[in-house]
Amino acid sequence: MKKITYVFLSALLLSLLACKKDTSPAKNPSLTNDTGVKTLSTATTLTFSGYTWTIKDSGTGTAGPGPNNWTSSNAYVDANGYLHLKLTKVNGAWYCAEVISTQSFGYGTYQWDVEGRIDTLDKNVVFGMFNYSGVDGRDEMDIEYSKFGSSTANNTNFTIYPAQTVTSPTDWHTTYNTSLTGTYTTQRFKRNSATSVYFQELGGFQSGDTNQITSATCSNPPNSISTLAMPVHMNLWLFQGTAPTNNSQVEIIIHSFTFTAL
C-alpha cells in the first residue's frame, strides 16, 4: 500500500511541475535587435515608391546609430505618396526616424528626390541615404548631410566602407560644402562594378545631369568596394545622440526613390 501511495504522489508531483513549466512567460515579441528593428511579426512597414520598407523602432530603449531613440511614428507616407522622415522632441526626449528596404539592391543607379533644406541642418543632425549589409564599418555606399558635431565642417559627405573580404580595410570619404537656393535636390549614386561608385548631387528634381552641384568617383584600387546586393536605408538622426544646438525639430520629405539596374 505504501508503495502504491508513493508512486501516486510521485506522479502527481511530476504533473504539477509540468504544468508549472507550461505556464512560464513567453518571450516578448516586441523585443528589438541591435539595429532597433523589431523582430518577429511586430515590425511596422510602409510602402514607398513601389517597395516595402521596415520602420526602425527601439521601443523603450535606444539603438544605433547614435545611440538614439527611434520611433515608427516618425516615418510615414502621405496622400501624395511622399515619404516623411521626422526628428521630434517629446517630453524632453529626442526621437529619430529610419526606414530599411525589405529588398536588396546591387549594381545600378540609386536616386532620391529630396525636399528640405538639408544644407542648413543643425551640426548634430544627420540625414542619410545609403545601402548597407548590416556589418558595422563594411559594405556601405553612403550619402550623408551632416557636420557631425563640428560647426566648421563641410555638410555634404560621400563615403564608401570596404567589403568584408578586405583584410586591411580602407575607407573612402570626400566632403563638400553645399549651399542651396531652393528646397529640391536630386541625390544619386551609381554602383558601376566592384571597382567604382559615382556620386552626384543636383539642384531640383532631375532625370539627367542638369544643375549638378557636385560629384565624386570612388575607384578601386586601393579601396575595395563591396559586391553584395544590400538593403537601402534612409534615416534622420542625431550624431552621438546629442540634441540639436538650435533645439529645432526637423522634417525631410523624400518624393521618390528609384533604382535602375545595370
C-alpha distance from residue 262 to each of 109, 110, 224 (Å):
8, 11, 20
CATH number, domain with residue 178: 2.60.120.200
Q: Is residue 11 part of a domain?
A: no
Structurally, the chain folds into a number of domains equal to 1
Q: Is residue 204 part of a domain?
A: yes
> Over pLDDT 90: what percentage of the chain?
78
C-alpha distance from residue 82 to each of 48, 50, 65, 76, 259 (Å):
7, 11, 24, 8, 16
Q: Mean pLDDT across the stretch 102-107?
A: 98
pLDDT digits (tens, 9 = 90+) for 235-250: 999 999 999 999 999 9
Q: What whole-number distance in Å separates Cα of residue 183 and Cα of residue 167?
A: 42
pLDDT digits (tens, 9 = 90+) for 109-143: 999 999 999 999 999 999 999 999 999 999 999 99
Of 3-12, 16-25, 161-170, 251-260, give the lowest mean pLDDT range: 16-25
- Name the pLDDT band for 37 (thresholds 50, 70, 90): low
* C-alpha grid cell, residue 242: 546629442
Q: Is residue 189 part of a domain?
A: yes
Q: Is residue 16 part of a domain?
A: no
**Closest CA relative to residue 234, chosen from 65, 81, 121:** 65
Q: Where are the beta strands (DSSP E) in 42-124?
A: 45-48, 51-55, 69-70, 75-77, 83-90, 93-105, 108-115
Q: Is residue 1 part of a domain?
A: no
